[in-house]
């Protein structure tokens, strides 16, 4: 379907390198097997685009065999079970409805992986293509996510008080934070994503068990390469942002809050109805609300104390990420469209000022305005009135305001910044 591995289409791309270190504590035979699986993935991914064949069937069967062989090389029961279950579904994809929820329910301590057809995320496509990825659990970062989970009841009470008294939390999903060290196939195209949603991204939309897997090292690299540099361009002082490992705490806390924010509704889940009216617009406003709910969760006294979050630092990091997403192209990605909605609101209310050669950001106004925007969107979008919701999307979403998008993006500039992985595991001899 696609003639290039890059999205969105552009005349040029700026590609920065990122090293993915091979884990030092894995058995050499395990590293060799994982390297082989990455090469198998590349072959399957290329051949699938041409046609089905006996060779393809043989390669898929070989991938299943390698997972069976890899499992005994680990001591952790959930890691072994994940590999055996993955081998099972690779051998017989008809068992996906029963096996994929079991994988999503695991808590692996040594290796987390995904192999098989994965959503492309390119434009509005619903297609999927063969991928594989491998990562080590990141226990220190996992603790940050776990704090957000443990304090979610208090966060919900805070949001009910500040935003809407009738907010409810639907069943959410688990969270697994890893450091990626190997990736191939569709998941290794451009731009690189730092999170996948399972088993939805493997084609099972309505699963009783769900899990988000976050590539923490990719996420941090995107921030350091493309968000922190924006602070320099805007003339912020060097000490306006803390060190990299501290910023990562803020990023993980907010992003887990974002995921929890997706579970929040009022009375009923209105988004299936909105999706039938305007699928792209519905995706954008869902991302915006999740962003904002996640941000506000980070303001609760319990979270700020438990994770030692500073309000001004949080505001700056969030704004830089908003700007990074927005400059990717608000009409190309739902999360960039969400950034468009937020940026314009902040601009209209004086928190963001566009000058001839600079962007001024006023963090002292930020949280009040973001709370006001969240109240507005909760009322307009979550109240159950689809006509009001549609009117909001028409007024505020970028795809329904192309002339405004053209004007703002001509001022801000659209970036095509990408990262390329230097996968050191590929140096392991086969």
pLDDT at residue 266, rounded to an integer? 92
Mean pLDDT computed over 56-67: 95
251/192: higher pLDDT: 251
Mean pLDDT computed over 300-309: 96
Averaged pLDDT of the chain: 93
Mean pLDDT computed over 188-207: 89
Q: State how far Cα 299 lies from the chain centre.
A: 21
pLDDT at residue 1, rounded to an integer? 44
Mean pLDDT computed over 274-302: 95
Task: Express each pLDDT in 164-188 by its tens digit.
Answer: 999 999 988 999 999 999 999 999 9
- The pLDDT of residue 409 is above 50: yes
Task: Express each pLDDT in 98-153 by its tens digit.
Answer: 999 999 999 999 999 999 998 766 555 567 789 999 999 999 999 999 999 999 99
Angle made by CA atoms 25, 180, 60, in degrees to the nearest 5:
95
User: How far is it, in rounded angstroms, from Cα 303 to Cα 253?
Assistant: 9
For the ranges 1-10, 69-78, 199-208, 366-375, the lowest mean pLDDT is seen at 1-10
- The pLDDT of residue 283 is above 70: yes
pLDDT at residue 67, rounded to an integer? 98
pLDDT at residue 9, rounded to an integer? 79
pLDDT at residue 372, rounded to an integer? 98
8: alpha, beta or left, given left = phi > 0 and alpha = psi -120 to 50? beta
- The pLDDT of residue 87 is above 60: yes
> Can you give the chain as a three-state secondary structure string?
CCCCCCCCCCCCCEEEEEEECCCCCCCHHHHHHHHHHHHHHHHHHHHHCCCCCHHHHHHHHHHHHHHHHHHHHCCCHHHHHHHHHHHHHHHCHHHHHHHHHHHHCCCCCCCEEEEEEEECCCCCCCCEEEEEEEEEECHHHHHHHHHHHHCHHHHHHHHHHHCCCCEEECCCCEEEEEEEEEEEEHHHCCCCCCEEEECHHHCCCCCCCCEEEEEHHHHHHHHHHHHHHHHHHCCCCHHHCCCHHHHHHHHHHHHHHHHHHCCEEECECCHHHHHHHCHHHHHHHHHHHHHHHHHHHCCCHHHHHHHCCCHHHHHHHHHHHHHHHHHCCCCCCHHHHHHHHHHHHHHHCCCEEECCCCEEECHHHHHHHHHHHHHHHHHHHHCCCHHHHHHHHHHHCHHHCHHHHHHHHHHHCCCCEEEEEEEHHHHCCC
pLDDT at residue 66, rounded to an integer? 98
For the ranges 129-138, 149-158, 188-197, 372-381, the lowest mean pLDDT is seen at 188-197
pLDDT at residue 128, rounded to an integer? 79
Percent of the chain with pLDDT over 70: 98
Percent of the chain with pLDDT over 90: 78
Mean pLDDT computed over 407-411: 92
pLDDT at residue 314, rounded to an integer? 98
Task: Express each pLDDT in 332-372 by its tens digit.
Answer: 889 999 999 999 999 999 999 998 788 999 999 999 999 99
pLDDT at residue 2, rounded to an integer? 56
CB 167 within 8 A of CB 379: no
- Give all domains of the chain, ordered by start, each with its CATH number: 14-427 (3.30.540.30)
pLDDT at residue 249, rounded to an integer? 98
């Amino acid at each position: 379907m696609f003639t290039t591995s890059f999205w969105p289409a552009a005349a040029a791309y700026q590609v920065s390198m990122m090293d993915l270190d091979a884990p030092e504590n894995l058995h050499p035979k395990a590293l060799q097997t994982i390297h082989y699986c990455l090469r198998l993935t590349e072959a399957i991914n290329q051949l699938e685009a041409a046609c089905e064949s006996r060779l393809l069937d043989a390669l898929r069967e070989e991938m299943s065999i390698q997972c069976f062989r890899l499992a005994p090389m680990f001591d952790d029961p959930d890691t072994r079970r994940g590999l055996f279950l993955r081998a099972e579904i690779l051998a017989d994809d008809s068992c996906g409805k029963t096996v994929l929820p079991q994988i999503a329910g695991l808590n692996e301590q040594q290796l987390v992986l995904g192999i098989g057809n994965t959503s492309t995320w390119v434009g509005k496509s619903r297609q999927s293509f063969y991928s594989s990825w491998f990562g080590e659990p990141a226990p220190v970062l996992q603790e940050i996510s776990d704090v957000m989970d443990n304090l979610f009841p208090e966060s919900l009470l805070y949001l009910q008080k500040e935003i809407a008294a009738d907010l409810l939390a639907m069943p959410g999903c688990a969270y697994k934070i890893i450091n990626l060290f190997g990736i191939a196939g569709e998941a290794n195209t451009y731009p690189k994503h730092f999170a996948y949603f399972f088993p939805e991204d493997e084609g099972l939309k309505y699963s009783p068990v769900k899990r988000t897997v976050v590539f923490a090292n990719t996420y941090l690299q995107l921030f350091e390469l493309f968000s922190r540099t924006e602070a320099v361009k805007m003339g912020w002082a060097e000490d306006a942002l803390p060190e990299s490992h501290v910023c990562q705490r803020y990023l993980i806390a907010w992003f887990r809050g974002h995921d929890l924010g997706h579970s929040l509704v009022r009375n009923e889940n209105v988004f299936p109805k909105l999706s039938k009216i305007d699928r792209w617009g519905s995706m954008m406003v869902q991302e915006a609300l999740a962003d904002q709910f996640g941000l506000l969760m980070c303001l609760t006294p319990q979270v700020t104390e438990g994770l030692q979050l500073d309000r001004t630092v949080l505001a700056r990091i969030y704004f830089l990420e908003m700007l990074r997403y927005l400059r990717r192209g608000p009409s190309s990605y739902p999360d960039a469209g969400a950034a468009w909605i937020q940026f314009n609101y902040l601009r209209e209310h004086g928190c963001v000022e566009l000058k001839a050669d600079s962007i001024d950001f006023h963090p002292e106004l930020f949280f009040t305005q973001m709370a006001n925007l969240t109240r507005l969107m909760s009322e307009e979008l979550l109240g159950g009135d689809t006509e009001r919701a549609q009117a909001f999307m028409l007024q505020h979403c970028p795809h329904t305001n192309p002339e405004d998008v053209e004007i703002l993006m001509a001022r801000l500039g659209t970036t095509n910044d990408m990262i390329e992985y230097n996968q050191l595991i590929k140096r392991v001899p086969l």
